[in-house]
């Protein structure tokens, strides 16, 4: 039984009245959802509150879950929407993604992950730092919809179909947003990468 099927079994048990089972889903996805929320809400205590609120919303809406998407995709969508609502309520703008170059776990799914963790020579360390800063600045300059799409794809590793469900938009729109985000980031990285000798990317 795959993850999606196992989650569906748990969801069906909750829908049948076994409320205690929902705690298993919370335990399974709490860290992943908190990590997602932290990209929007930078304060860890506030992010925990938003994550808890997202789980409460998910629990209340669970009766309407039909398994047409994976549970975690559905949960991610609730998490993104809850975080955005929280930011609007508190008069804040959606922030940049956390430092891609500084967190090994975060860079595992990024296209340049290997580059960012390359040789530890002083030149490479400096280049990694510059690339990380450039990526963050480029991400910060993206509109919210492009930033969310590229983050869900490159950092969380969601498929285009899953991102479409999370963002509640057609898959063609997801492809367009990710393409535009990549182009915008690449245009900022190009001068740095062109200046590096013996580059392997």
Provide the 3-class DSSP secondary structure of residue 161. helix
pLDDT given for residue 174 in this prediction: 93
Domain 3-89: which topology? Answer: Rna Polymerase Sigma Factor; Chain: A (1.10.1740)
Domain ranges of the chain: 3-89, 100-194
What's 110's DSSP letter? S
**pLDDT band for position 14 (cuts 50, 70, 90):** very high
Higher pLDDT, 174 or 195: 174
CATH of 100-194, one of 3.40.720.10, 3.40.47.10, 3.40.190.10, 1.10.10.10: 1.10.10.10
Asked if pLDDT for residue 140 goes beyond 50, the answer is: yes
Q: Render pLDDT for 86-99 as a digit per residue (tens, 0 to 9).
A: 888 877 765 444 33
Q: Tokens for 164?
A: 């479409």
Angle between helices 144-154 and 122-141 (to 10 degrees): 140
Q: Render pLDDT for 145-192 as a digit per residue (tens, 0 to 9).
A: 888 888 888 877 788 988 998 888 999 999 999 999 888 888 887 776
Q: Render pLDDT for 71-123 as a digit per residue (tens, 0 to 9).
A: 988 998 899 889 988 888 877 765 444 333 333 333 333 333 333 333 456 66
Provide the 3-class DSSP secondary structure of residue 31. helix
Tell me the three-class secondary structure of 89-101, residue by residue: HCCCCCCCCCCHH
């Amino acid at each position: 039984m795959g993850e999606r099927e196992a989650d569906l079994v748990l969801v069906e048990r909750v829908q049948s009245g076994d409320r205690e089972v929902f705690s298993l889903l919370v335990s399974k996805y709490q860290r992943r959802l908190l990590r997602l929320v932290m990209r929007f809400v930078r304060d860890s205590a506030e992010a925990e509150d938003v994550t808890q609120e997202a789980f409460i919303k998910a629990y209340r809406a669970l009766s309407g879950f039909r398994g047409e998407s994976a549970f975690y995709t559905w949960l991610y969508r609730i998490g993104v929407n809850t975080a955005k609502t929280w930011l609007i309520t508190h008069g804040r703008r959606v922030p940049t993604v956390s430092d891609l170059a500084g967190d090994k776990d975060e860079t595992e799914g990024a296209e340049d992950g290997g580059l960012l963790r390359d040789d530890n020579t002083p030149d490479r360390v400096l280049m990694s730092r510059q690339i990380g800063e450039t990526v963050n600045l480029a991400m910060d300059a993206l509109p919210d919809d492009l930033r969310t799409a590229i983050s869900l794809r490159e950092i969380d590793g969601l498929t285009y179909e899953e991102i479409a469900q999370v963002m509640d938009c057609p898959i063609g729109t997801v492809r367009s947003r990710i393409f535009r985000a990549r182009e915008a980031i690449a245009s900022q990285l190009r001068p740095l990468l062109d200046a590096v000798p013996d580059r392997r990317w």
